[in-house]
Amino acid sequence: MSIRERLSGNEAVSVAMRQINPDVFPAFPITPSTEIPQYFSSYVANGLVDTVFIPVESEHSSMSAAIGAEASGARSMTATSSCGLAYMWEELYVAASDRLPVALALVNRALSGPININCDHSDVMGARDAGWIQVFAENNQEAYDNFVQAYRIAEHPSVRLPIMICQDGFITSHAVENIELLEDEKVKAFVGEYDPEHYLLKKDEPMAIGPYGTPAFYMEAKRAQLEGLKNAKQVTLDVAKEFAEISGRSYGLFEEYQTADADYIMVVIGAAAGTAKDAADQLREKGIKAGVLKIRLFRPFPAEEIVAAIKHAKVIACMDRTESYNGNAGPLGAEIKAALFDAGETVKVLNYVYGLGGRDVTVDSLTSVFEDMQKVAQSGVVGETYRYLSVRE
């Protein structure tokens, strides 16, 4: 029987961490993820876990310690946000290229500058090409559920890559919602023990982690890394199917909300999906066929599956909660456009930058995006494809 609770997103993730009971948890605090190691340190102090908790001197050290522990054969995890992730930059690539399934709870926050502690996706999107699996949550329940599934995905023999479980800073991390937790025993059985095939401290098996990659071998290593990331797509689905059996909650690569017959589809990531669904519901009451596709798995990007779900629409709006400074498209917009192009589809696409630095995202503001899509469909003219939403020009 599930356990009904009222938890913030940060506490929900920390509960999942407690239930997993990792071997090592190095951490350095940064807003708005600070509560996660704070909660977890209390579990350590109260004897609820037997994890080695390491208070390090920086986020770079946090990821370095997690890498060292993982390479030695210990299941490791950590948490960070924003500039903390940026400080880990070098180590993010090391963890991925060394095929170490570290789990990172990433609470998304704007990168400086100007300095800002509120939500956008500039941190995670800046790291999108580091080789990590990236999974996003709309709400606290999903943040908890995603973290319970994280190691099953990352540690799979055909994957063996680190994973980021992402949620929106303050919007979900500090907001308290009703949530259903699994019993500790169920989580423990579902996640299982970590039993790596190769690791530094394995007796009678001398090996190196992170050796110098000469030109004769470097590209092959990267190609093998890509294959692991591609495999993560099917593994994510397989793990979600097993998770549904113990929780009753189903997950996929993305969620389709009233998209089957939609003329206008908004593609969005994170907490704003709930607001987008409300906007779509209101438009449906007026006879306008609006729908929402919420991305769960961003890396690897499920291009073919997304195209199949949205190609029938008259107009699509891609919502980017970050600015990539190419002047043409945001990270999500670029992925969607490339996927449609490769599939030979000619759906009209608008790309919006929205919600930067915690700018409010309202039903009215997202309704205006659906209204813009209708104008494009009626006129046949896309106009400016790359737009800002709710900004003073």
* pLDDT digit string, tens, across residues 295-316: 999 999 999 999 999 999 999 9
All structural domains of the chain with their residue ranges? 3-184+208-247, 254-388
| CATH for the stretch 3-184+208-247 | 3.40.50.970
pLDDT confidence of residue 1: 64
The percentage of residues in the chain with a pLDDT greater than 70, rounded to a whole number, is 100
* pLDDT digit string, tens, across residues 115-142: 999 999 999 999 999 999 999 999 999 9
* pLDDT digit string, tens, across residues 246-281: 999 999 999 999 999 999 999 999 999 999 999 999
pLDDT confidence of residue 211: 85
Mean pLDDT of 12-35: 98
Degrees (nearest 5) of the Cα angle 250, 285, 257? 20
Asked if the domains 3-184+208-247 and 254-388 are classified in one and the same CATH topology, the answer is yes
SS (H, E, C) the chain: CCEEEEEEHHHHHHHHHHHHCCCEEEECCCCCCCHHHHHHHHHHHCCCCCCEEEECCCHHHHHHHHHHHHHCCCCEEEEECHHHHHHCHHHHHHHHHCCCCCEEEEEECCCCCCCCCCCCCHHHHHCCCCCCEEEECCCHHHHHHHHHHHHHHHCCCCCCCCEEEEEECCCCCCCEEEEEECCHHHHHHHHCCCCCCCCCCCCCCCCCCCCCCCCCCHHHHHHHHHHHHHHHHHHHHHHHHHHHHHHCCCCCCEEEECCCCCCEEEEEECCHHHHHHHHHHHHHHCCCCEEEEEECEEECCCHHHHHHHHCCCCEEEEEECCCCCCCCCCHHHHHHHHHHHHCCCCCEEEEEECCHHHCCCCHHHHHHHHHHHHHHHHHCCCCCCEEECCCCC
pLDDT at 321 over 90: yes
* pLDDT digit string, tens, across residues 52-94: 999 999 999 999 999 999 999 999 999 999 999 999 999 999 9
- What is the crossing angle of helices 89-97 and 218-247, to 10°? 90
How much is the pTM?
A: 0.97
* pLDDT digit string, tens, across residues 144-173: 999 999 999 999 999 999 999 999 999 999
Mean pLDDT of 91-117: 97
Mean pLDDT of 88-109: 98
pLDDT at 210 over 90: no
pLDDT at 219 over 70: yes
**In whole numbers, what is the pLDDT of the chain averaged over residues?**
97
Mean pLDDT of 354-370: 98
pLDDT confidence of residue 262: 98
Mean pLDDT of 218-226: 97
pLDDT at 114 over 80: yes
Q: CA-CA distance, 222 to 23, in Å (whole number)?
A: 28
Q: CA-CA distance, 155 to 356, in Å (whole number)?
A: 34
254-388 is classed in which CATH architecture?
3-Layer(aba) Sandwich (3.40)
